[in-house]
Amino acid sequence: MSGNIWDVIRAKGLEDYFISIWMDHSDEEEVARRLGAEAVSRSDFSAATKNYPFGSGDGPEETLWVGRHGPRWTHVLQISGNHAASPALHAGLTRDGGRLLFMCVTEVEGVEDLVLVENARRTDDIHAFNHTPARPDGLFARTMADLSFDGPPGTQENACLTVVGRITGTPLTEEWFDGRHLLCRVPLGVW
């Protein structure tokens, strides 16, 4: 994996609000169902984001864009709302032996979290401020040993996205954003 993955995110206008879940499950419709989401359409990025301002949490529902991410994983990009950050949601999604990665980047905090949840338990994370894995022997430590978190703006975000790509076996690329994925709504009160 090479290149600056964060440049892809910035090009899409997501640098101030990037909340994503990667679930170790290849069926995007099943992932949407587990999230309690109602599929609205299959759309490209432009159509998916046309009527939903990023980070808007004031509406009556959460908006997600859900698409396959390599052979085994599904990427859930939160377009509006912020409940994808809920530890209770992560636990519920992985309770039956699943695992997921969660990443949150905001304009104010930068990288807030990169978390691994397995079997309803948070098993590893990269600390937001010192960028060290919580478990020295954990999965994150093994996948980030050669990465730098120090450098110009975007370095930390790119390093975290590189870790995600190494774990999922597929980097987040422009091609993923060029795809047609499920645009979903999660009605108020589901999460």
Mean pLDDT of the chain: 86
Distance separating alpha carbons of residues 46 and 180, to the nearest angstrom: 10
Confidence of residue 53 (pLDDT cuts 50, 70, 90): low
Q: Which of 1-10, 93-102, 124-133 has the lowest mean pLDDT?
A: 124-133
Two tokens, residue 184: 């979903």
Sign (positive or negative) of CA dihedral 80, 82, 84, 88: negative
Q: Which domain holds residue 101?
A: 5-187
| pLDDT band per the 50, 70, 90 thresholds, residue 1 | very low
Q: Which residue has the higher pLDDT, 127 or 170?
A: 170
pLDDT > 70 fraction of the chain, expressed in percent and rounded: 90
93: Cβ–Cβ under 8 A, 6 or more apart, which residues? 21, 23, 34, 35, 100, 117
- Per residue in 93-124, pLDDT (tens digit) is 998 889 999 999 888 777 888 999 999 999 88
Q: Which residues of 32-60 are buried (b: 16+ CB within 10 A; e: fewer)?
A: bebbbbeeeeebebeebbeebebbeeeee
Task: Give the confidence band of 172 by pLDDT, cuts at 50, 70, 90.
Answer: very high
Q: How far is residue 67's CA from residue 31's CA, in Å, rounded to a whole number?
A: 9
99 within 8 A of 119, measured Cβ to Cβ = yes
Average pLDDT on 157-162 reads: 92
* Residue 75 pLDDT class (50, 70, 90 cuts): very high
Domain total in the chain? 1
CA-to-CA distance for 69 and 87, rounded, in angstroms?
A: 22
